[in-house]
Structure formats: C-alpha cells, structure tokens
Amino acid sequence: MERSPPQSPGPGKAGDAPNRRSGHVRGARVLSPPGRRARLSSPGPSRSSEAREELRSRLLGLIERSRVVIFSKSYCPHSTRVKELFSSLGVECNVLELDQVDDGARVQEVLSEITNQKTVPNIFVNKVHVGGCDQTFQAYQSGLLQKLLQEDSAYDYDLIIIGGGSGGLSCAKEAAILGKKVMVLDFVVPSPQGTSWGLGGTCVNVGCIPKKLMHQAALLGQALCDSRKFGWEYNQQVRHNWETMTKAIQNHISSLNWGYRLSLREKAVAYVNSYGEFVEHHKIKATNKKGQETYYTAAQFVIATGERPRYLGIQGDKEYCITSDDLFSLPYCPGKTLVVGASYVALECAGFLAGFGLDVTVMVRSILLRGFDQEMAEKVGSYMEQHGVKFLRKFIPVMVQQLEKGSPGKLKVLAKSTEGTETIEGVYNTVLLAIGRDSCTRKIGLEKIGVKINEKSGKIPVNDVEQTNVPYVYAVGDILEDKPELTPVAIQSGKLLAQRLFGASLEKCDYINVPTTVFTPLEYGCCGLSEEKAIEVYKKENLEIYHTLFWPLEWTVAGRENNTCYAKIICNKFDHDRVIGFHILGPNAGEVTQGFAAAMKCGLTKQLLDDTIGIHPTCGEVFTTLEITKSSGLDITQKGCG
C-alpha cells in the first residue's frame, strides 16, 4: 500500500485551497465531476462512541450511493495518479480530500477499520473496495476495473457462495437476513468409490456428525461391559450390527440435509445443485449433474469449497481403498481394517471400528497427530494400543492388490519401511486412507480472475477480513491458509464476513485459542498452545507446566485403569501465570474443554483456577486442584478419588 508524505505540499489540483470542514458525512454530492471534492458537514458536537458510529454509517452511505469514491489527500502523488486515471476514462466520481476536512484523521481511522487499509488513496467502485493506487492500476490493466465500472451493472445476485458446507451456509443465511440477494452453489463430485451426499458439506455428511455418532456407538459397547460391574445382568449374546447403525445415522443426516434446504428456502436464498467455476470477472458457470451449463453474475463472491481426502498415488489406491467420504455410509461392515495415516481422522476411525470389535491396524509414516501436543498424542496412541488397536510404525503402503471381490472383499497391501529397505505385506478386508485432505480450489477457475492460491497446498491466502487478492472475492473455511480447519471456525467466520459486508459490523473472526477435541476412544481435548509450540514461542525457562494423572469415578467400580487419564496446563510465568495451553485426556474431554476455552478467552490464570471451587465428583474439577509441576519431577500417580 502507498504511504502519503505527511506534510509535503505535493502536486495538488490548481486553485485548491484548504477548506476545513468537519469529518461527518452528510449529503455528500454523488456523481460529481472528476476531481470535485465530496463535502462532509458536521451534525454538531457528539460523544465519541456515538460520533464514531455515526461517522462510519455516513461513510458507508456515501460508498453505497456513489459509483466511484476516492478517499484522497490533495498533496499525495498516488492519489493524483488515480484521479487522473478516472478522469482519462471519463468517469464521474466523488473525491474526499482527507487533508481538507476538519476530522480527516478520524475519517481515515474509521475508513481503515472498514477496509483494513490505512493509506490513501482508498478507492471504492460500485460499492466494491478496490484498494490503493497499485491495486487500482492492476485492476485497470487486468480489465477488472472496467468491469466494475459498467453502467447499471445489473448483477444477478449481490452475493454468490461456491460451496454449501458449514461456512458457506452460515455466510449465505446471514447475508440474506441482512436483505441481500444470495445464491449458494453446491455440488459433490462423487468419490472414486462413487459416494456422494446432500447439502451441508463435510461436517454434516462425512465428518463431525457421523464420526461422533459412531464414536458414541463404540462408547455404548464399552458401557455394556462396565454395566455388569454395576449390577446389570443379561445373558443373551450382545453383538454390533453395522447395517442398523449406518441406516440410523444416514437417516439423521438426511433430515439435516432437508433442514438446510428448508432454511435456505425460508430466507429466500437460491440453492443450485451445480458445480461452480469462474469464467470471467464477476461471472461463473454452473454445471449440473446432467452437464447442463448456466451462467450467473454477482457483485461479490465467497469461496467455501472445503477439502476432500487425499490419495496415496500408488497402484490400487483409488480402485480398492476407501476414505472417510465412503466409510460412514458403507453398506456392509468393513471387517478387518487397515487404517493408513496418523491424523485425527485416522485415529478416530480406527478407535470406533475397534470399539465395534473389529480387527484394526493403523499404519503410521512418522508421528501421531501432527500439530497436536506430542505427549498427549502418544498417550492417545498408547491407550488405543492397550485396547486392541495394532500400530505399524514407520511404514508406508506401496501397492494395494485385490485378492477377492466381495462386501467386504480381500485386499493385499505391500508396504515398505521409511527407515530402511524392509518390506511387509498383510491381508485386510478394507483399507481406509486418512493421510490428509486437499483444498478444492484448483478446478474452479480462480486463475481466470487472478485469485492467488498457495501452489503447494492449494490454500487461499486472505487478509484478516477473509478477503483474497481480488477485492470482490472472499474465502472461508478449511481452504484458508494458516487457519484452523474446524467447522465452528468456518461457521463463525462466514457469519461475521456477511455482517461486515452487508451489516454495520466491524467484528473479525478470532482464530486464537480455538478449542478442539479428538474423539478417540479416550477423548483428547485441547485449547491454546501445545507444549512444543509454547517452548518455541516463550522458551522453556519462562513456562510452568502443571499436570496430573486422574481416575474418573465412573471407572473405579467398573475396574478400568487408574493413572491413564491425564490433565495438563501450560502457564506463562511472566504474565501472571496465564494459561496458554490446556490439555485433557479423559471421558467427555470435549465437554470439559469447551468451558475452559471460554475462561481462556477471558484471560484465565493459574490463580483463577486455584480460586475456582470444583464440582465434585467430575473430571473437570482436576484443573482446580493442580499442584505438581513438571519441573519439580514429583510423582503424579493417583491412589484414589481426589
């Protein structure tokens, strides 16, 4: 962005003299001749917060009513270049010289909140924020500026969202509530095994919802075993029926799909079950499952296309392997299963499959739960191993071969060591790949309108208001670079984006201290930094780590293991022992973590935890009685109920 010289007289307009006026928008002249200053007049003295909100409202009104608005400074050479460009195009525009109004500095401050740009010139064309001088000339050279300037550019929609997942639907519904004409395009390209699904995205159809329900099914199996110790007597053989479970889960998902469609209809959001692809600026092609093409235009776009599972790129992977796209609606029990990968998806799926009594092996290339706290990750793996899940460490598959067809059939997997020349082979009924996910950004025409992506990852870089490098294109959800890939994050960022674009909000999505839970057989919940990241950021000597093992009361009578569940907080010693990392391995870890995440948002410290009276007997109360630090080296094993 261009920086204006603070005091240089610079090249200004001939005959301009300082004309000090207040920075409150009132009755600004619209479509004034090129170079003519839009005037701001004061409504009189006002309190700062009310005055600021009124100023913001009036600025937005000026932008809303004007074809072109240039927020400028008369001495700025970059501003002069932009004004000359519009003049050469014969375009009428409103120019507001911030150095010639009394509250120019305050106008610029509020403007920077609206646009995330602190410098002049700051240009809007037909309500779209183009940016500064360089961005305006780039838009001119690419043809985008001319497109924006089209008279009566009667776009079909105010907003088109490509992707009907959590983030896209959240943004669409909020924009519609704010009175905008909105379309959602959503199309699921079938997996290599032919699986597709309805509206709602990954979370609802092939992610969080069916995963948590299958996790619950596995927990019920454990509860059946525990129940005998609590006096429940039953003689009949208990077995799990895969088909009954998947049918019930898919029925629930179908009801959610219908609910989303109904919600869009009630809010007058157009839903089109077609594949969206940009063909030129402000224009997309929508292709339905029959191959029929329709074209739509919009003033602004949100990309919310999400991600799909990655394949290995080896012989037989797409032909014979499944992914999480296929597992939750698989019409038959998968039988003996090899799970390839060490992601949370891999461990969650391996966990509930083993909970159903299946023979499960996890093949791990390097470490478990990359990006998570590694002490916690190893404890997750250790618990799973003690409960029947086998781990093949430091191996990767190189070939999958079909031995028998069937439901399930038989597959032979050849794998090689990552540390030497050793090869192994095994026979399984099902091979589930969970080695990561790829962003769905490479085949939607982004290159045709100049939206930049990370060529390696496919992720889209955005600023702190989810705006891409193309001013009228935004992105939310898992496709964002360096942002958490979590459903609630996508929902929050989509909703706030719509409120900023079409409402009176400046609130941005806060991506710091986002809680999450891995729904393995023993759940792992966390918020804030891992121990490794905390040491990297704050240095080990500046941290105090409190931890303990604990024994849930429910496990005692059932005869389940003591000293398996674990709690840990990481504190910054030089910031009042503020909690910067929260970690729990135990039953209902998600429920426990959610409450403490709110406390961390409020600046939770170790002293505040100590001052909190726990609820007894619960797992969460362990955080109110933490005493032992890692640095002390003291024993943390528990002998009984605290």
Catalytic site residues? 616
Query: Of 355, 387, 85, which is closest to residue 218 (Cα–Cα)?
Result: 355
Residue indicated by tokens 């299946």: 358
H-helix or E-strand containing 147?
helix 144-148
**Which parts of 209-327 are beta strand (E)?**
270-272, 275-280, 283-287, 293-303, 307-309
Positive/negative CA dihedral, 19, 22, 27, 31: positive
Q: Is residue 349 a contact partner of residue 328, using CB atoms and an 8 Å limit?
A: no
User: What does residue 536 show for φ and ψ, rounded to 5 degrees?
Assistant: -65, -40
460 secondary structure, DSSP code:
B
Q: Cα angle vertex 465, ends 463, 467, to 5°?
A: 60
Exposure of 363 by Cβ count < 10 A (0-12 exposed, 13-18 middle, 19+ buried)? buried
**Which parts of 341-464 are beta strand (E)?**
360-364, 390-393, 395-404, 410-417, 423-428, 430-433, 437-439
Structure tokens at 49: 């917060």
Distance of alpha carbon 476 from alpha carbon 603, whole angstroms = 27
3-state SS, residue 344: helix
Torsion of CA 40, 45, 50, 55, to 10 degrees: 10
3-state SS, residue 579: strand
Cis peptide before 488 (omega within 30 of 0): no
Distance of alpha carbon 400 from alpha carbon 421, whole angstroms = 18
